[in-house]
Amino acid sequence: MSRYSRREFIKTGVSFGAASIVAGKTAPASIKKTPAAAGVVRVVSSGNGIRATEKAMSLLKTGADPLDAVIAGVNIVEDDPDDTSVGYGGLPNEDGIVELDASVMYGPTHDAGAVASLRNIKNPSKVAKLVMERSDHVLLVGEGALRFAKSHGFKEENLLTEKAREIWLRWKENLSDEDNWFPAVSDKMTAELRPFLLTYGTINCIAINERGDLAGVTTTSGLSFKIAGRVGDSPIIGAGLYVDNEIGAAGSTGRGEANILNLGSYSVVDFMGQGLSPEEACLKTLERIAVKTKLEPRLLTEDGKPSFGLNFYALNKKGEYGSACMWSGGNYAVHDGAENKLRDSAYLYKEKR
């Protein structure tokens, strides 16, 4: 009896899978296939991703792979020191250290890669892609993720910008009146930075190319001043991101804990597979999360609604797109191949003015 090494087995499996595709094998009958619209090219992102959708579309129009396109798009935000929610310049954990999370998922192979609590590497989305392509794993975390990145040539650098350090310091100085950290004599800086003192910032970007292949990425520095080692939904496949090449793709921003507990992005894609539009699927998922949140009184407003923000973005195989937020006022970026602009998200509850 012949024996295969693990590497030979993997190679054989890959070859068999590729041969099956070439031979034109169809998906199992249990999977409801949504036909792609011929020649449709779309890019959808969270509201902070208008530059990402522009970049991704420009690459898709040259024939670039959709995963390469969306990663190049979010790299713009990861590299931006003025964005305090993603990558370089992201707000640190409670110890003043920036920890990044990211995931990617590729429709044609139904494969994914992710990193969590990654320090000193400003493009976690690129590392997540390498986890998918160059390892037999889906998720690497902490020191292991850093070693993996360095083994592939990534260089360590300090991700804490002066702006982010100032915000963290003001937060630390104002935590308590009984510790030994004193705030600045002038409250001007604190007032200027107060809007940054609690953020969930994240960027999600999903796309479909003219062949009907889907891909997505989600990347973040996570909740500001989190407990060291906290991991949100962004690197969790099925929560912060999910792609099914026969149905569509979805991603999220907002309160990660609520999303992890309900696998929101998987739910959105599943609802699209049942025939709901992208917007309807996002709203239906938010309704499900709101119902479960009622079991946790500390997360409810006085009138029994979720007190947090959570947002979903979706794109189906036909190129239809949509977004919905827990509360009104949200938006998202869409490039439909002709125009790149922000659009209003649907919402479950209306903010009181």
Longest alpha-carbon distance in the chain: 79
DSSP helix/strand/coil, 30? coil
Two tokens at 157? 């650098």
Q: How far apart are CA 223 and CA 93, in angstroms?
A: 8
Q: What is the pLDDT of residues 187-197, one digit of tens each?
A: 555 555 555 55
166 vs 319, which has greater pLDDT? 319
**Overall pTM > 0.85:** yes
pLDDT at residue 86, as a whole number? 95
Kindly compute the dihedral angle of the four CA atoms of residues 302, 305, 311, 316, in this order, to the nearest 10 degrees: -170
Q: Which residues pair with 115 in a beta bridge?
A: 102, 140
- Cα 157 to Cα 154, 229, 316: the distances in Å are 10, 19, 38
21 phi and psi, to 5 degrees? -65, -45
259 inside domain: yes
322 inside domain: yes
The owner of tokens 């429709």 is: 107
pLDDT at residue 22, as a whole number? 34
75 inside domain: yes
pLDDT at residue 177, as a whole number? 74
Q: What is the pLDDT of residues 294-309, one digit of tens each?
A: 999 999 999 999 999 9
Number of domains in the chain: 1
110 inside domain: yes
Band (pLDDT 50/70/90 cuts) for residue 10 is: very low
pLDDT at residue 191, as a whole number? 58
- Over residues 300-326, mean pLDDT: 97
- Over residues 163-170, mean pLDDT: 91
Q: How far apart are CA 251 and CA 237, in angstroms?
A: 10
**Helix runs in the chain, H state only:** 6-22, 50-60, 66-78, 124-134, 142-151, 162-173, 188-193, 256-260, 264-273, 278-293
Compute how many other C-beta atoms are within 10 angstroms of the C-beta atom of residue 143: 11
Q: Quick check: 60 pLDDT over 60? A: yes
- Over residues 116-132, mean pLDDT: 98
- Cα 171 to Cα 86, 91, 100, 175, 199: the distances in Å are 19, 11, 20, 6, 12
DSSP helix/strand/coil, 86? coil
Q: How far apart are CA 182 and CA 47, in angstroms?
A: 36
DSSP conformational letter for 153: T
Q: How far apart are CA 182 and CA 298, in angstroms?
A: 30
pLDDT at residue 27, as a whole number? 37
- Over residues 90-103, mean pLDDT: 97
202 catalytic per annotation: yes
Q: How far apart are CA 313 and CA 249, in angstroms?
A: 8
10 inside domain: no
What share of the chain has pLDDT > 90, as a percent?
78
DSSP helix/strand/coil, 250? strand
73 vs 11, which has greater pLDDT? 73
CA dihedral sign of residues 220, 221, 224, 228: positive
182 inside domain: no
User: Which of these is catalytic: 190, 202, 253, 293?
Assistant: 202
194 inside domain: no
The owner of tokens 């020649």 is: 39
- Over residues 88-103, mean pLDDT: 97
171 inside domain: no
Range of the domain at 105: 31-160+199-349
CA angle 238, 331, 271 (to 5 degrees): 35
Q: Quick check: 325 pLDDT over 60? A: yes
Q: Which amino acid is located at 39 in the chain?
A: G
Task: CATH number of the domain at 81, please.
Answer: 3.60.20.30
Q: How far apart are CA 148 and CA 205, in angstroms?
A: 24
Averaged pLDDT of the chain: 88
Compute how many other C-beta atoms are within 10 angstroms of the C-beta atom of residue 199: 18
Residue in 264, 208, 211 with CA at minimum distance from that of residue 236: 264
Q: How far apart are CA 345 and CA 325, in angstroms?
A: 6
Residue in 226, 163, 218, 155 with CA at minimum distance from that of residue 195: 163
